[in-house]
Amino acid sequence: MFKELIEYIVKSLVDHPDQVEVKEVTGETVVIIELTVTEEDLGKIIGRYGRTLKAIRSVLYTAGLQANKKVILELIEHPKPDE
């Protein structure tokens, strides 16, 4: 549920939606979402002064309230390809 929500939001914001990876680890009361994007898309997800990332986390928080779970979003940067 949370994974699909994050994929939808993030893929609409980035330039490389095919390189967006979302992993969901579900516990009894906590859900951890690991979001991986490319280095150049990282700024689009964070946004100016972190506003975009804060808004995404707010949406997850609200969705988590309805499911009685705490949702944590971790942002992970894609490793640079070896040149």
Every domain of the chain and the residues it spans = 2-77
Average pLDDT (22-48) is 91
Evaluate if residue 34 carries a pLDDT over 80.
yes
pTM: 0.82
Evaluate if residue 78 carries a pLDDT over 90.
no
3-state secondary structure at position 81: coil
Predicted local distance difference test score (pLDDT) of residue 79 = 65
For residues 60 and 38, what is the distance between their CA atoms, to the nearest angstrom? 21
| Structure token digits, residue 12 | 């609409």
Predicted local distance difference test score (pLDDT) of residue 60 = 92
The CA-CA-CA angle for residues 64, 31, 41, to 5°, reads 90
Residue type, 83: E
Confidence of residue 76 (pLDDT cuts 50, 70, 90): confident
Range 2-77: architecture per CATH? 2-Layer Sandwich (3.30)
